[in-house]
Amino acid sequence: FDVYRQNGGYRSVEKAIKTLSPDDVMEEVKKSGLRGRGGAGFPTGMKWSFLA
């Protein structure tokens, strides 16, 4: 993990924890277009919004 971190790994997680609200994180996930891998390709941001 040290090499990964030295090369910028986890920067996004650090930003999310330190500077974004939970709603901001969810909005970023929605904007990313990330989709699930369960076969239907359901939008991850939408799924997360059901739980919030």
Domain contains 15: no
Range of the domain at 32: 21-52
Number of structural domains in the chain: 1
Point out which residues pair with 43 in neighbouring strands. Answer: 35
pLDDT, residue 6, reads 93
Structural domain contains residue 43? yes
Query: Residue 51: which of 23, 31, 28, 32 has the closest Cα?
Result: 23
Distance CA 34, CA 47 (A): 11
Q: Judge whether 4 lies within some domain.
A: no
How confident is the model at residue 48, as a pLDDT? 92
- Is 7 a member of any domain? no
CA distance 34 to 5: 23
| Positions in the chain whose pLDDT score sits under 70 | none
* pTM, full prediction: 0.71
Is 10 within a domain? no
